[in-house]
Structure 1
Amino acid sequence: MEIRIGLVEDEKNLNDIIKSYLEKENYKVFAFNSAESVSEVIEEDMHIWILDIMLPGKSGFELMDELKQIDPKLPIILISARDQDFDKILGLEKGAEDYIAKPFSPKELVLRVKKIIDRCYKSEDTGIIAGYKIDFNTHKVYDQEALLDLSSREYKLLVLMYNNIGRPFTRDEILNNIWERDYFGSDRVVDDLMRRLRKKMPRLQVETIYRYGYRMEDK
Structure 2
Amino acid sequence: MNERVFVIEDDENIQEIVKLALESSGYEITLFDNAIDAIVAIHENPPDLAIFDIMLPELDGISAIKKIRETNTSMPIMVLSAKDREIDKVRGLDSGCDDYMTKPFGVLELSARVRSLLRRTKKTVKVLETPTLKIDKAKHIVLLNDKRLELTHKEYQLLVYLVENRDRVVEREELLNSIWGYDFVGESRALDVHIRSLRAKLNDDGSKYIKTIRSVGYRYIEDKQE
TM-score of the superposed pair, with normalisation by structure 2: 0.51
Q: Percent identity?
A: 33
| Offset at residue 36 of structure 1 (A) | 2.4
Query: What SS does the corresponding residue of 2:100 show, helix, strand or coil?
Result: strand
| Offset at residue 8 of structure 1 (A) | 0.4
From the superposition, tell whether residues 75 and 39 of structure 1 become closer, same or farther in structure 2 (CA, over 3 Å). closer
Say if 2:109 is the partner of 1:74.
Answer: no
Whether contact under 8 Å (1:67, 1:74) holds in the other structure is no
Per mean C-alpha deviation after superposition, the further-off stretch among 110-119 and 35-44 is 35-44
| Offset at residue 40 of structure 1 (A) | 4.0
Whether contact under 8 Å (1:79, 1:101) holds in the other structure is yes
| Offset at residue 24 of structure 1 (A) | 1.1
1:154-209 C-alpha deviation (Å, 9 max, x unpaired)? xxxxxxxxxxxxxxxxxxxxxxxxxxxxxxxxxxxxxxxxxxxxxxxxxxxxxxxx
RMSD: 1.5
State the aligned residue count: 123
| Offset at residue 41 of structure 1 (A) | 0.9
Q: Tell me the distance in 2 between the aligned counterparts of 1:105 and 1:40.
A: 30
Q: Tell me the distance in 1 between the aligned counterparts of 2:110 and 2:8.
A: 14
Q: Which residue of 2 aligns with 1:103?
A: 104
Q: Tell me the distance in 2 between the aligned counterparts of 1:47 and 1:89.
A: 24
Query: What SS does the corresponding residue of 2:101 show, helix, strand or coil?
Result: strand
Q: Tell me the distance in 2 between the aligned counterparts of 1:8 and 1:30.
A: 9
Q: Which residue of 2 aligns with 1:154?
A: none
Q: Which residue of 1 aligns with 2:63?
A: 62
Which portions of structure 1, spanning 4 or more consecutive aligned residues, are displaced by more than 4 angstroms? none
TM-score of the superposed pair, with normalisation by structure 1: 0.53
Choose between structure 1 and 2: higher helix proportion.
2
Bigger Cα Rg: 1
From the superposition, tell whether residues 7 and 17 of structure 1 become closer, same or farther in structure 2 (CA, over 3 Å). same
Q: Which residue of 2 aligns with 1:155?
A: none
Unaligned runs of 5+ in 1: 124-219
Query: What SS does the corresponding residue of 2:112 show, helix, strand or coil?
Result: helix
